[in-house]
Structure 1
Amino acid sequence: MAKTSANEKAVKPNVFMRIGLFIKQIIDELRKVVTPTAKELFFWSLAVFIFVLLLMALVTGMDFGLGKATLGIFG
Structure 2
Amino acid sequence: MAKANKPEKNEKPNIFMRIGLFIKQVIDELRKVVTPTAKGLLGWSVAVLVFVLLLMVIVTSMDFGLGKLTLWIFG
| TM-score, normalization by structure 1 | 0.85
Indicate the residue corresponding to 1:43 in structure 2.
43
Indicate the residue corresponding to 2:67 in structure 1.
67
Identity of aligned residues (%): 75
Letter in 1 for 2:24: K
- Aligned mates of 1:42, 1:15 — CA distance in 2: 43
| TM-score, normalization by structure 2 | 0.85
Q: Which 5+ residue runs of structure 2 have no aligned equivalent?
A: 1-6
Indicate the residue corresponding to 1:29 in structure 2.
29
The Cα RMSD (Å) is: 1.4
Corresponding pairs, count? 68
- Aligned mates of 1:35, 1:9 — CA distance in 2: 43
